[in-house]
Amino acid sequence: MVAPLAILLVHAFWSVDYLTIQRSFMLENFRTLLTSDLYGRVLGRSVAIAAVVTLIDIVLAFPVAYFLAKKVRRHREVLLLLVVFPLWSSYLVRVFAWKTILGTSGILNTFLLWTGVIEVPVSAFLYSKTAMIITFCQVWLPFMILPLYTVIDRMPNALLEASADLGATGRQTFWKVILPLSLPGLLAGSLSVFSLTLGDYITPTLLGGPGDQMIGRLVADSFGMSNNWPLGAALVLPVLLIVSILIWGAGRFGALGRTAS
Amino acid sequence: MEPAEVMARYRRGEISRRDVLRLLSVVGLSSAALPLLGREASAAEELSMVIWEGYADPSFAATFEGANDATISATPMTSSDDAFARLQASGGSNFDLVSASNDVSQRLIDAGLVQPIDPSRLSNYNDLYPQFQKPSYITKDDQLYGANFAWGPTLMIYNSEQVTEEPTSWQALLDETYAGKISTWNAPIQIAQYALLLDSKPENPYELTDEQLAQVKDLLLQQKPLIRTYWNYGDELKQLLASGEVVISDAWPYVAVGSREAGIPVVEVFPSEGVTGWSDSWMLTAGAKNVDLAYKWMDFMIGPDGQMGVLNNNNYAITNKTVIEGLDEQVRSDLRMDNIEEGYDQILMWRNVPNYDKWLQVWQEATTG
């Protein structure tokens, strides 16, 4: 587990001269990252998109998880299976499916034209941040629903009933009881969705517009196009750093959540 | 024939494995002899290659597969840099062949990812036009590194239903009229094409100063908001044209032919500033596993079947003199093959770019940022 990361770290301090990698320690790559405004801008954009996707998935996943855990009595397994079902198809297939839905002559535009909501096809659905966010939210949603379902399922009904008996409104029960108790699952799901989005380059490449590319694309291009492995390795480090800090932070919060219960 | 002689002729490639097996099965020896035939005996040999789209199209590759009891496993590349990265990743041993263009061929040789070839093993070699037999881009230290089999331009194409006024300049790819309907190839070598639009047009678009590169970057940044999406694969661009997402782009003739076959009214233009272009050669990778079969493929591709295959399937110009002379006059003039030397020079041919690391940086900053 550690070896690949070590190789990555070492590469980040090397450089490329025409065709060969110069194996001498230098901070050249990091200077490139800091002096060119490209990398900071793309990293900032990536973090922002990942955060938006995570928030949307929390809002979408919470009712589904609560419904599955507390309201469904029969066929729960079948419904859970339906949540996981999309994961059985290839990631690429799901991304391409969105392409056919969101295209200028795609399903969504055809439908809106048919209903008369719009007069001309909307081109902004595809090759835009909107397209990327919709797709990310859909493909990573199961990773948010499942951990939330697990914590809510284990939540004793007695606590919810006690809260109601003591006069709390539904809203108060949600904010004071359900949400704090769901925190470990919420953090686990958010970490998954955030990291999966932050590092992705396929969805931006296929569905993003010219100004919407994310940090994963720059990393992929460093290896697959520029043949500059050291720069690619250096680009990965800030991403790893961000994710590590989040995992560390979530670990602390998770521990707090346990003592509270 | 004595069995030993059969085996000797098999090893020299004079008779196929299928013939040997047929012969041996007659005397009931096939199962005993299978191990002698090596690992190919268990399944058809697989020739793996990284290619530009269309260069192993079943329309002609099937002929080769049938004749040599081989299967072809072809991986398309999105750019020369993509091919280089794929070979680099394994030190040139994950593919047998690469259809390298003249911008990357020298880099592949310098990096030791390809090996010299022996033209005496190619029966069609002497039919090539002299200028394609030993061109500088596939030669190093007087050794030949490839079989040059196709060439052509990167043109401008447009949908004639959507674009009513025929564009004549590359400026059309920066025209607000087509905002949101423009695409351009996502390859750093395209910087040369956009350099043709600079106010003081460079003598040689492959030798640009830092200042000229900065000017091209400005052009690309100016173009960016007008771009629907950058295309990577030719088939991707066909799709973009078919779905109406894009109405004008730069492209290879392969895309235009394919689009017209699919019923999309795509027209090619040779813009007034000139066009860039490429000359492609089959190169044998340094770690090639099926060297004999790779030679047969190279020979096939510079011979009549392969040459006509590329011509018909991709609409690219070819290099075999005998085949070209047998062509219809119209086809020859359409593809600038009626006077090869002149036709070839009408295209600003790709070459090894000296400050290519800067090109890569400019391209990435302008298109990804």
Q: Which residues pair with B269 in a beta bridge?
A: B156
Cβ contact A105–B244 (<8 Å):
yes
B355 close to A (CB below 8 A): no
Cβ contact B245–A126 (<8 Å):
yes
Q: Are residues B145 and B281 in the same domain?
A: yes
CA–CA gap between residue B30 and residue B79 (Å, rounded): 46
pTM score: 0.84
* pLDDT score recorded for residue A135: 96
Q: Distances from the Cα of A256 to the Cαs of A181, A183, A259, B295, in angstroms? A: 10, 9, 5, 68
CA–CA gap between residue A49 and residue A18 (Å, rounded): 35
For an interface test with B, the pick among A43, A108, A201, A227 (most B C-beta atoms closer than 10 Å) comes out as A227
Q: Are residues B242 and B317 in the same domain?
A: no
Q: Are residues B360 and B246 in the same domain?
A: yes
pLDDT-derived band at B5, boundaries 50, 70, 90:
low
For A106, the closest chain B residue by CA position comes to B243
CA–CA gap between residue B181 and residue B247 (Å, rounded): 5
* pLDDT score recorded for residue A149: 95
pLDDT tens-digit map of B86-145:
998 888 889 999 999 999 999 999 999 999 999 999 999 999 999 999 999 999 999 999
* pLDDT score recorded for residue A195: 94
Name the residue among A16, A42, A103 with its Cβ closest to that of B245: A103
Q: Are residues B182 and B295 in the same domain?
A: no
Residues spanned by the domain of B176: 153-274+354-368
Non-local (6+) Cβ contacts of B284 within 8 A are: B96, B97, B114, B115, B117, B145, B146, B291, B294, B295, B298
- CA of residue B82 relative to chain centroid, distance: 13
- Domain total of chain A: 1
Q: Are residues B220 and B110 in the same domain?
A: no
* pLDDT score recorded for residue B291: 96
Q: Distances from the Cα of A27 to the Cαs of A230, A241, B184, B191, in angstroms? A: 11, 17, 35, 29
* pLDDT score recorded for residue B102: 96
* pLDDT score recorded for residue B149: 97
Q: Are residues B258 and B358 in the same domain?
A: yes
Q: What is the mean pLDDT of each run of 10 residues along chain A (261 residues)?
A: 80 76 76 82 94 97 93 88 89 91 90 90 90 95 95 91 88 90 92 94 91 90 85 89 90 58 40
Sign of the CA dihedral A243, A244, A245, A246? positive
Q: What is the CATH number of the domain that holds A133?
A: 1.10.3720.10
φ/ψ of B99, rounded to 5, equals -90, 80
Q: Are residues B20 and B71 in the same domain?
A: no
CA–CA gap between residue B185 and residue B80 (Å, rounded): 12
Q: Are residues B75 and B214 in the same domain?
A: no
CA–CA gap between residue A208 and residue B354 (Å, rounded): 32
Residues spanned by the domain of A187: 2-260
Name the residue among B85, B232, B364 with its Cβ closest to that of A223: B85
User: What ipTM was estimated for this complex?
Assistant: 0.82
Q: What is the CATH number of the domain that holds B361?
A: 3.40.190.10
- Domain total of chain B: 3
Residue that is written with structure tokens 């037999």 in the block: B133
Q: Are residues B333 and B236 in the same domain?
A: no
- Reading the block at residue B279, the tokens are 């000359």
pLDDT tens-digit map of B234-281:
999 999 999 999 999 999 999 999 999 999 999 999 999 999 999 999
Q: Are residues B189 and B169 in the same domain?
A: yes
Number of H helices, E strands in chain B: 17, 13
Q: Is the pLDDT of residue B43 over 80?
A: no
Cβ contact A103–B357 (<8 Å):
no
CA–CA gap between residue B196 and residue B273 (Å, rounded): 6
Strands (E), chain A: 15-17, 20-22
* pLDDT score recorded for residue A73: 83
For an interface test with A, the pick among B222, B364, B365, B367 (most A C-beta atoms closer than 10 Å) comes out as B364
Closest CA to A53 of A237, A192, A146: A192
Q: Which is more confidently placed, B19 or A182?
A: A182
- Closest CA–CA distance from residue B245 to any residue of chain A (Å): 6
CA–CA gap between residue B38 and residue A97 (Å, rounded): 45
φ/ψ of B185, rounded to 5, equals -70, 130
* pLDDT score recorded for residue B14: 54
- Reading the block at residue B326, the tokens are 């047998």
Q: Is the pLDDT of residue B42 over 70?
A: no
Kind plus residue range of the DSSP H or E element containing A199: helix A179-199
Q: Are residues B172 and B244 in the same domain?
A: yes
What average pLDDT does range B180-206 have in this prediction? 95
Strands (E), B253-328: 266-269, 275-285, 317-318
Q: Are residues B57 and B144 in the same domain?
A: yes
